[in-house]
Amino acid sequence: MKPLALIMLAAAVAPGQIAPTLKGAYEGIFRIGAALNPAQFEERDPRGNPIIAAQFDTISPENALKWGSIHPRVDGYNFEPADRYVAFGEKHKMFIVGHCLVWHSQTPRWVFENENGEPLTREGLLERMRDHIRTVVGRYKGRIGGWDVVNEALNEDGSMRQSPWYRIIGEDYLLKAFQFAHEADPRAELYYNDYSLENEAKRKGAVELIRKLKAAGAAISGVGLQGHDKMDWPTARQEAETIEAFAALGVKVHITELDIDVLPRTTRQNTADISATAAGTAQSNPYTAGLPEEMQQALARRYAELFEVFVQHRNTVSRVTFWGVTDGDSWLNNFPTRGRTNYPLLFDREGKPKPAFAAVVQKAKTN
């Protein structure tokens, strides 16, 4: 399709009553989803809610199920937001994802300490992990269909991240987490989720990790490629090779947090590591008045390139989830540099579909 036709298709549709829709176009290919914030799953977002209801058949919680949100105190859970998130998904008959059970980030310090503030023993931390997983997965048993069991366990070079989980329990913390999750809901899909797995060194580490987990009997059904992408990274070839590497292990691939950063780099690495932040300059925030048309088209072509790969691998890829609904919702307005104006998603700040929306819909038809 020519760029002009793409613009016309995008302009002709309004959120809420759009035909075609993402989930309609991708029916029978893979699920299409979005990460939701509280205003969205509490139906207080008049711009986002019609889009969510019309466009997506799966949802992820951007923050509500992270340890720090749902289990902020040693003796206290905060279930209300997560309950509302799950109820929202059920109301809209969506496949509901849980994100995430074991992560080094957004996990309170007390998790790793005893009542005297000293590091927990291996047994103590395993007990705490088991209690958390049993409580959270058990509460939503049969309702949350798939869990990111362990998030971001690897370094960029493919070695194990020296997180408190790893240092205190040892490498089998992953196996234990999968065992506890499987015990709590034997029918739930269980995933390992990470970013930058398209880079060879980290991918090799992940392949080895998943091979070992499977050999040890872990009920792992999928790997999540977060997909925090750039305009020039990863290449289509890297993306295809990555999906194929995991397909060869017999696990499904989920694109779990897709977005495309269109702003100039302010850090050296391509990373979604939330500790890698940087100060901004006037040059690093060039599109405060809107995204120029040539950039809109370049973003549409970039989305088309990635979806071409996803669709080609439809037997392995079972879900593509965007990390947010509209550009205004995206974490990339504040990462790696705070207060910028980014354009990483398919819907603009007014909730209107961008040329990239039409490009993604079109890819479902041409394959």
Q: Work out whether 198 is an interface residue with ligand G3I (CB under 6 A).
A: no
Q: Please list, in sequence order, all residues whose beta carbon lies within 8 angstroms of the beta carbon of residue 30, skipping any fewer than 6 positions away.
A: 310, 314, 317, 318, 319, 320
Of the pair 188, 272, the CB lying nearest ligand G3I is at 272
Alpha-carbon separation of residue 95 from 56, 141, 167, 180, 320 (angstroms): 10, 13, 34, 22, 12
Is residue 62 within the footprint of ligand G3I (CB under 6 A)?
yes
Considering the rule CB under 6 A, would residue 341 count as an interface residue with ligand G3I? no
Quick check: 226 binds ligand G3I (CB under 6 A)? yes
Tell me, by CB under 6 A, how many residues bind ligand G3I. 11
Q: Is 239 labeled as catalytic in the residue annotation?
A: no
Q: Toward ligand G3I, which CB reaches closer, 196 or 297?
A: 196
Confirm if 333 and 284 have CB atoms less than 8 A apart. no
- Of 198, 229, 257, 348, the one binding ligand G3I by CB under 6 A: 257
Identify which range of 43-51, 61-69, 112-120, 162-170 contacts ligand G3I by CB under 6 A: 61-69
* Phi and psi angles of residue 137, each rounded to the nearest 5 degrees, phi first: -65, -40
- Nearest Cα to Cα of residue 305 among 246, 223, 362: 362
Annotated catalytic residue, options 152, 189, 198, 239: 152
CB nearer to ligand G3I: pick between 15 and 227: 227
For the residues of 37-72, what is the DSSP string, one character each?
-HHHHTT--TTHHHHHHHH-SEEEESSTTSHHHH--
∠ CA 165-170-172, rounded to 5°: 95
Quick check: is 43 catalytic?
no
Comparing CB distances to ligand G3I, the nearer of 10 and 101 is 101
Contact status: 63 vs ligand G3I (CB under 6 A): yes
Question: How far is Cα 193 from Cα 12, in angstroms, rounded to an integer?
Answer: 37
Site for ligand G3I contains 269 (CB under 6 A): no
Which residues sit at the interface with ligand G3I, rule CB under 6 A?
Answer: 62-63, 66, 105-106, 151, 226, 257, 272, 274, 331
Indicate which residues carry an active-site annotation: 152, 257
